[in-house]
Amino acid sequence: MRFFIQDIMTKAERFRKVIEYFSRSNPVPETELRYRDPFGLLVAVMLSAQCTDRRVNMITPVLLKAFPDPASLAAATQEQVVTLIKSCSYPNNKAKNLIKMANMLIEKFGGKVPEEPELLQQLPGVGRKTANVVASVLFKKPVIAVDTHVFRVSVRLGLAVNAKTPLDVEHQLEEHIPPEMRHKAHHWLILHGRYICRARKPLCEKCGLTSICKYYKDKNKASR
């Protein structure tokens, strides 16, 4: 009978082991979105909704060369922006929101990207996940953005239990991850989900967390 550490592990111990593992294997995790300034990151994160970081990194250099700051983007037409971002998903909606976002940055925030997630969510096209990404990456705020990768990895590892929504996962992660570690945890879980714990055909043989992974345990039970 195969023994799994998780059989006798508390949730707090599970989080501790996950944090220890990633602290060793990826001590300085970073976003894969390329950007030069806060405005550039905000634009990139807005474009990344249902679009790969690789694709966004192909779009933003051209877009931000044409519209490098809130003032220039606010003055753009939707057609001008769509032409430059048409290779990403939902270009019409994203173009409209980017222009509205730039206008609000000027009118309400003096042309600067606000630091607090609650203020970021006031911007058109910026939901909770986008706001948390920007606040975490730029300002090291103690928040965790839950995308499909974070959701999947958290559930599979047993970090989130009976979670039905991204907010459920966010609350469970923040309950157990120290505030000073959350900006790192966000990247750890995204990158692990993107390259190892993939939605289809996860690379369990390359994962260092199989001994505590509920998904791996269940998969092995089913194969016996």
Mean pLDDT of the chain, nearest integer: 94
Same-domain check for residues 62 and 120: yes
**Boundary residue ending a domain (105, 139, 173):** 139
Q: Is 201 a catalytic residue?
A: no
| Residue 8 pLDDT grade (very low, low, confident, very high; cuts 50, 70, 90) | low
- Its pTM stands at 0.90
Give the pLDDT confidence score for residue 5 in this predicted structure.
Answer: 52
- The mean per-residue pLDDT over the stretch 181-192 comes to 96
- The mean per-residue pLDDT over the stretch 46-53 comes to 95
Same-domain check for residues 53 and 18: no
Same-domain check for residues 47 and 105: yes
| Residue 219 pLDDT grade (very low, low, confident, very high; cuts 50, 70, 90) | confident
Give the pLDDT confidence score for residue 2 in this predicted structure.
Answer: 47
Q: What percent of the chain has pLDDT over 70?
A: 95
Give the pLDDT confidence score for residue 221 in this predicted structure.
Answer: 72
Same-domain check for residues 200 and 213: yes
Same-domain check for residues 46 and 131: yes
Same-domain check for residues 25 and 75: no
Same-domain check for residues 97 and 112: yes
Same-domain check for residues 64 and 135: yes
Catalytically annotated residue among 96, 108, 112, 129: 129
Same-domain check for residues 23 and 47: no
pLDDT digits (tens, 9 = 90+) for 63-73: 999 999 999 99
Same-domain check for residues 133 and 154: no
Residue 6 scores a pLDDT above 90: no
Give the pLDDT confidence score for residue 188 in this predicted structure.
Answer: 97
Q: What is the total count of domains within the chain?
A: 2
Same-domain check for residues 61 and 132: yes
Here the CATH number for the domain that contains residue 78 is 1.10.340.30
**Boundary residue ending a domain (89, 118, 139):** 139
| Residue 158 pLDDT grade (very low, low, confident, very high; cuts 50, 70, 90) | very high
Q: Is 129 a catalytic residue?
A: yes
Domain of residue 192: give its range: 5-30+144-223
- The mean per-residue pLDDT over the stretch 28-47 comes to 97
Here the CATH number for the domain that contains residue 195 is 1.10.1670.10
- The mean per-residue pLDDT over the stretch 133-147 comes to 96
Give the pLDDT confidence score for residue 220 in this predicted structure.
Answer: 78
Positive or negative torsion for Cα 62, 70, 184, 211: negative
Same-domain check for residues 65 and 121: yes
**Boundary residue ending a domain (111, 139, 167):** 139
Give the pLDDT confidence score for residue 93 in this predicted structure.
Answer: 97
Give the pLDDT confidence score for residue 9 in this predicted structure.
Answer: 82
